């Protein structure tokens, strides 16, 4: 009897467990989110990535060092001496020869006097004309960055028709830090120069960028005569390096969240600058919702980044993880819908060209991303995502006399690496993960004046293009403070392809560190997912914004407050008639 009683108890427990599991499964199936809720989940992930990118720009602002060294143009009086028979006596120049140690690498500088309007081949030049030829070649060498290299006219028989010039390369003897520099200063991976190299100002620009990429570091250099080497052309490079502190703390509060997951967000960031004393930068950031909205909800996330340079190379790695939960109304009851996502990325880039007017970089990278969604803690497996892939990048910065243009072109492609899964939608030809995506962006900054008021115009352009439909996480989104301003971000337009343009004019207030700004933004989306299987209410948005940003130095605070309004939107696109926003940052 005891055995029978025990068997009945076990059977009863199994039945109860089976019924409980069945009930949970059925509840999850009954509450499975509709397509819009799946879009909302993707929007949260995209919004989190946009926040991470904004944080990266704040914690690690881009650094571009440009020391100029343009070749001065000849005046009309100087150019007249290059005309044939402008002087007496004169000598017909049949060829020009550049001689000396390392002369081969400077041969291109002769083009200024052998081609174009200053071509002197076949002309009859006098003493002044020969001096102008020498100046043109010297100025070209300096403009190419070789500021300590010199060109001389040796004694010669110019009547032979051949003009000989001798180049004396400016070489580096010692590279050292100034007396009293902290022992934490290291140049081993920052300066792409060494003793014996021909000194080029572009290499020093690159080194300064590597030093100054760490925000708490100030660096500069001086070129002075070699202390221990009397050989003509040799110089010492003296480095000045100072770090205010090896860490930074940043606390911020803003209202960039969604009502469904928490409108107000608090973020704490700790940066360890020059962590390994290799001009590297590490920071970790944690954010959490602070309320705002209705129903049971919440969100949090962590973001980490590490960057280290090596001469003209830059290695960047990042990791992010975020979670959210929200209350969703079902057919008969409300339920908890939650999700989590994780993204790992590594990029390697190299500056392949720089001069006084521009800088170009090439890069490659890879990433791995995964996400899961749950209903009452039961995973919705059809929404599980795990993707990985590679990307190739081209960056270019152009320096104008009073403006700076920065551009980026990226091609990324999903693969089956690291156990990446195909999207379930592929079976219905609705969305793909292993496809190519072309992305581009450009930003232009132009300072100008109206009367006595200093103003600045800033333009930003972004686009994305794919030949196949994409999963929601990879689509192009518009309609919040990070894209087309003037909209509250509760609903966005999300599709495979798209572009946006942000225009802004700003100016200071009474020469204080407070700035007003006003902007008008426009964006469009397109591609198959804009029209099927769930058509968007429209494909374009036009919005406006006015705001105030600035710093309160005594309190170590910065702020940004704004009000925006939609100017054009689809009829069924939900957004407030006007939207306000703010962010407050405290840093130490």
DSSP notation for 261-320: T-S-EEEEEEEEETTTSSS-EEEEEEEEE---SSSS-EEEEEEEEEEEEETTEEEEEEEE
- pLDDT tens digit string along 460-476? 999 999 999 999 999 99
Q: What integer best gives the mean pLDDT of the chain?
A: 90
Of 173-182, 195-204, 289-298, 546-555, the poorest mean pLDDT is in: 289-298
Our separate counts of H helices and E strands in the chain read 6, 27
- pLDDT tens digit string along 11-22? 433 333 333 334
| Cβ within 8 Å of residue 34, ≥6 positions away | none
| pTM of the predicted structure, to 2 decimals | 0.87
| Cβ within 8 Å of residue 272, ≥6 positions away | 246, 247, 281, 282, 283
- The average pLDDT across 366-387 equals 91
- pLDDT tens digit string along 227-273? 999 999 999 999 999 999 999 999 999 999 888 888 999 999 999 99
- Cα–Cα distances in angstroms (integers) from residue 269 to residues 102, 158, 208, 302, 317, in the given order: 50, 69, 26, 10, 17
- Cα–Cα distances in angstroms (integers) from residue 106 to residues 99, 112, 141, 376, in the given order: 10, 12, 7, 71
β-strand partners of 314: 309, 349
Work out the pLDDT band at 147, boundaries 50, 70, 90. very high
Domains and CATH numbers, the chain: 76-164 (no CATH), 171-243 (3.10.20.310)
- pLDDT tens digit string along 68-112? 766 666 677 777 778 888 889 999 999 999 999 889 999 999 998
- pLDDT tens digit string along 38-58? 677 788 889 999 999 999 998
């Amino acid at each position: 009897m005891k055995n029978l009683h025990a068997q009945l108890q076990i059977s009863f427990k199994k039945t109860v467990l089976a019924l409980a599991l069945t009930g949970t499964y059925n509840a999850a199936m009954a509450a499975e989110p509709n397509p819009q809720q799946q879009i909302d989940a993707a929007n949260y992930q995209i919004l989190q990535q946009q926040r991470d990118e904004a944080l990266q720009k704040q914690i690690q602002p881009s650094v571009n060092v440009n020391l100029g060294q343009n070749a001065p143009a000849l005046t009309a009086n100087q150019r007249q001496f290059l005309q044939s028979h402008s002087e007496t006596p004169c000598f017909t120049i049949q060829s020009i020869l550049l001689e000396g140690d390392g002369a081969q690498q400077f041969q291109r500088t002769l083009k200024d006097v052998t081609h174009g309007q200053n071509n002197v081949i076949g002309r009859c030049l006098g003493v002044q004309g020969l001096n102008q030829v020498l100046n043109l070649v010297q100025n070209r060498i300096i403009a190419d960055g070789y500021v300590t290299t010199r060109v001389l006219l040796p004694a010669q028989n110019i009547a032979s028709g051949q003009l000989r010039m001798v180049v004396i390369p400016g070489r580096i003897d010692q590279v050292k830090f100034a007396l009293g520099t902290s022992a934490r200063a290291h140049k081993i991976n920052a300066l792409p120069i060494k003793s014996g190299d021909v000194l080029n100002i572009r290499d020093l620009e690159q080194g300064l960028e590597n030093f100054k990429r760490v925000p708490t570091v100030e660096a500069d250099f001086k070129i002075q005569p070699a202390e221990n080497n009397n050989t003509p052309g040799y110089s010492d490079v003296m480095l000045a390096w100072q770090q205010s502190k090896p860490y930074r703390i940043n606390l911020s509060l803003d209202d960039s969240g969604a009502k469904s997951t928490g409108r107000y967000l608090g973020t704490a960031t700790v940066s360890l600058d020059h962590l390994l004393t290799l001009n590297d930068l590490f920071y970790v950031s944690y954010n959490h919702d602070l309320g705002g909205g209705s129903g049971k909800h919440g969100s949090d996330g962590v973001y980490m980044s590490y960057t280290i340079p090596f001469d003209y190379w830059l290695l960047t790695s990042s990791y992010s993880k975020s979670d959210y939960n929200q209350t969703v109304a079902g057919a008969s009851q409300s339920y908890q819908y939650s999700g989590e996502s994780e993204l790992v990325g590594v990029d390697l880039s190299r500056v392949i060209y720089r001069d006084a007017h521009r800088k170009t970089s090439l890069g490659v990278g890879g990433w791995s991303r995964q996400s899961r969604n749950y209903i009452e803690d039961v995973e919705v497996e059809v929404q599980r995502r795990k993707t990985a892939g590679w990307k190739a990048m081209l960056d270019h910065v152009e320096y104008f006399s009073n403006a700076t243009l920065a551009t980026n072109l990226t091609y990324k492609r999903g693969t089956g690496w690291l156990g990446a899964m195909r999207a379930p939608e592929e079976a219905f030809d609705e969305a793909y993960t292993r496809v190519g995506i072309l992305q581009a962006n450009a930003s232009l900054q132009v300072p100008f004046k109206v009367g006595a008021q200093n103003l600045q115009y800033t333009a930003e352009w972004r686009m994305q293009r794919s030949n196949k439909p994409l999963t929601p996480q990879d689509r192009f989104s518009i309609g919040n403070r990070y894209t087309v301003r003037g909209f509250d971000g509760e609903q966005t337009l999300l599709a495979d392809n798209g572009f946006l343009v942000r225009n802004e004019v700003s100016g200071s207030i009474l020469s204080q560190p407070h700035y007003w700004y006003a902007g008008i933004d426009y964006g469009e989306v397109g591609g198959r997912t804009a029209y099927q299987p769930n058509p968007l209410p429209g494909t374009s948005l036009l919005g406006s914004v006015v705001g105030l940003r600035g710093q309160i130095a005594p309190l170590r605070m910065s702020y940004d407050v704004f009000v925006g309004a939609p100017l054009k939107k689809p009829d069924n696109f939900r957004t407030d008639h006007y939207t306000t926003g703010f962010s407050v940052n405290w840093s130490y």
